[in-house]
Chain A
Amino acid sequence: KAGVTQTPRYLIKTRGQQVTLSCSPISGHRSVSWYQQTPGQGLQFLFEYFSETQRNKGNFPGRFSGRQFSNSRSEMNVSTLELGDSALYLCASSLGTMVSWQFFGPGTRLTVL
């Protein structure tokens, strides 16, 4: 099976712009979660989508949003970018059940100038 893919791998934006990141989960996985990794805060949960519905949400401002399509692919959007949004954004997919674990993609490195 192909792994989790994320595009683009690297992105440079300026403050105030918006950005959309994409994630394609492993075939058959219905759950897609997004995480932000920064040196100071570590890996922090953004949100999870399961069968096109947001099932869980972390403590991030409303500028961070996402969606999931019927084929389980997911997108994450960040509007009005701030310097502090510079981070590695990781997507993870899973079956979304009690004993399933998450498989992570390679991440998208976002730099905000």
Chain B
Amino acid sequence: DQQVKQNSPSLSVQEGRISILNCDYTNSMFDYFLWYKKYPAEGPTFLISISSIKDKNEDGRFTVFLNKSAKHLSLHIVPSQPGDSAVYFCAARSSLGGTSYGKLTFGQGTILTVHP
């Protein structure tokens, strides 16, 4: 039972254009969402997060949008750069009981390739 899904295994965009990575979740108890970027042979690197009380969070070129009714979030990268080429993971967490902060449920990842 995959509670967090990234339905696009890969995405290819041109440098300077927008990259949009999508993520869907099924568990309505999730209330905190994160995006991580991962290069081969390295651990994931935190990019941006959003709490369920918000619908948008922005940090530089990265913006995350959350649509709670659709249980859908997306990461927008504008403008895309070749250095952004990596695997992007969406992750979700529940605050239920106040003890689950260290448990993330990850999507399968989307390989982003930004062409010069």
Contact = CB atoms under 8 A, between A and B. Distances in A.
Interface of A: 4, 31-33, 35, 42-45, 48-50, 55-56, 58, 90, 92, 94, 96-107
A42 B106 contact: yes
Contacts of A56: 99-100, 102-103
A57 to B, nearest CB: 9
B42 interface: yes
B103 A58 contact: yes
Nearest to B108: A42
The 4 tightest CB contacts between A and B, nearest first, are A104-B43, A48-B102, A43-B106, A56-B103
A33 B104 contact: yes
- Category for how many chain B residues contact A: 20 to 34
B34 interface: yes
B102 A33 contact: yes
Interface in B64-91: 89, 91
> Chain A binding site: helix, strand, loop or mixed by DSSP?
strand
Interface centre among A42, A94, A103 (most CB of B within 10 A): A42
B101 A98 contact: yes
Interface centre among A4, A32, A104 (most CB of B within 10 A): A104
Contacts of B42: 106-107
A100 to B, nearest CB: 7
B70 to A, nearest CB: 22
